[in-house]
Amino acid sequence: MRPLNISLRFDVSVTPQPWTLASGLRRLVLWAVLAVVAVFFAVPIVWLLLETTRAGQTGPDSQVGAPLAFGSLHQLVQNWQVLFSGLVGQIGTWLANSALYSGSGVLIAVGLGVPAGYGLATFDFFGRRLLLFATMIAMLIPSTALVLPLVLEAHSLGMLSSPLAVILPYGFFPFGVYIAYLYFNTPRVFGLLAAARSDGCNEWQAFRHVALPLSTPILGLVVVLDFIASWTNYFLPWGMYLAFGCAGSAGTTIACQTTRYPVTLGVAQQLMAGAPAPFAIPQPASVTLQSLQMQTNAPASVEALLILVSVAPVIVVLVIAQRWIASGRLQGIFV
């Protein structure tokens, strides 16, 4: 007997609710709350953008009055020239370093991570579950938790000033492995791979010609997330390039590696006003900090431009990849 299909369908047409005082008030509150929070998030960036167009003569003090005002485009060009003239440091070198470190890290993360996720998803081998759980634990540990151990390890290996000291940790991106694992771990992929093998593909060809072309969406996601995490990393390069040499450690053997700095360290360098305080909790003394003391004599507007330039690549990536990031975060992972 053929089963009888009964399809019941209710069409409920929801007409817009008539305007009432209560619903109007509710919308008003909703928009007010969102507006206030949006102002909190946006004003620092708006301030930064405006500040880069203003003149600053000697220091932050000279900027008193009307903080949110537009200067002139001409001034922006001048600030740009000052920034790249070497007043605040080797900004061009720092940007190139950041690009080198993050770019190499991303290449390693993709080149090792995607095959690893594929291997975990489609092969059964001794230690597979152990490696999978290690990956999940590693991706949920804040990356800062391993910085000091990494610096101590690099110190013991004499690798503190090597670019590899930051590139290898940037290339270790367990979240990318997990994403690739989830992506390949589906019956659809298993079916495609079985078909490829029965058509005579070996394991490498099955990966290269079947799995890899399927994986473009996660390639983009891994690239974007690892790039952002690497570019904005401050603690790790601080430990590798600055902490031993420049912070005035007792047994300093390594010179200050300013030419190795990524741009996050360059930005932080602006604050390095002098030798660190002695090891005691300082008491609020008679000295009061009048205003931000900078390493160089650069005005606040040039420092603002430095901040903006240092994060510009990340903002560009964010704008381009907004949709990918949203879907990646949707997987519930936060790097």
Partner 1 sequence: MSRERPGSLEAVREAAELLGYRLVSARRWKRRRPRLRRVRPQSPRRRSRAGYLFVAGYALLLGVVGLWPAGYALNLALTTFDGAFSGVSNFTGSYNQGFLIPAFENVGKFMLIWLTALIVMVIGLSLLMHTLARRVGAAFRFIFYVPAAFAGSASVLLWLFLLQPGLSPWDFVLHALGYKTLGDTLISGNLPVIYALIAFWTGAGSWILVIHGALTNVPEDVLEAAALDGAGPLQTALRIKLPMIKKWVVYMLIVALAGGTQLFAEPQLVSVANLGLVSPVWSPNTLATYLAFQYNNFNYAAAISIDLLVVALVCAGILVFRTRLFKAD
Match 């390095």 to its residue by tokens: 272
**Binders in 266-325 for partner 1, by CB under 8 A:** 267-268, 270-274, 276-277, 279, 281-282, 284-285, 287-293, 300, 303-304, 307, 310-311, 314-315, 318, 322, 325
* Residues 241 and 98: beta-carbon distance below 8 Å: no
**Binders in 84-113 for partner 1, by CB under 8 A:** 108, 111-113
CA distance 146 to 116: 22
Q: What is the token pair recorded at 296?
A: 């160089």
The residue type of 220 is G
CB of 104 to partner 1, least distance (A): 13
User: Helices 91-122 and 174-184 sit at what angle, rounded to 10 degrees?
Assistant: 40
Q: CA distances (Å), 274 to each of 154, 247, 295, 332, in order?
A: 26, 9, 8, 42
Q: Residues 161-200 vs partner 1: string with x where CB under 8 A?
A: -------xx-xx-x--xx---x--x-x--x----------
Q: What is the token pair recorded at 146?
A: 């391993």
Of 99, 232, 254, 258, the residue at the interface with partner 1 (CB under 8 A) is 232
Residue 205 as a binder of partner 1 (CB under 8 A): the answer is no
Of 2, 6, 19, 41, the residue at the interface with partner 1 (CB under 8 A) is 41
Phi-psi region of 248 (alpha: psi -120 to 50; beta: other; left: phi over 0): left
Residue 215 as a binder of partner 1 (CB under 8 A): the answer is no
Cα angle 88, 237, 226 (rounded to 5 degrees) comes to 110
3 or 251: CB nearest partner 1: 251
Residue 6 as a binder of partner 1 (CB under 8 A): the answer is no
CB of 299 to partner 1, least distance (A): 11
Residue 49 as a binder of partner 1 (CB under 8 A): the answer is no
DSSP annotation of 278 reads: P
**Binders in 58-87 for partner 1, by CB under 8 A:** 60-61, 63-65, 67-68
Of 18, 73, 124, 198, the residue at the interface with partner 1 (CB under 8 A) is 124
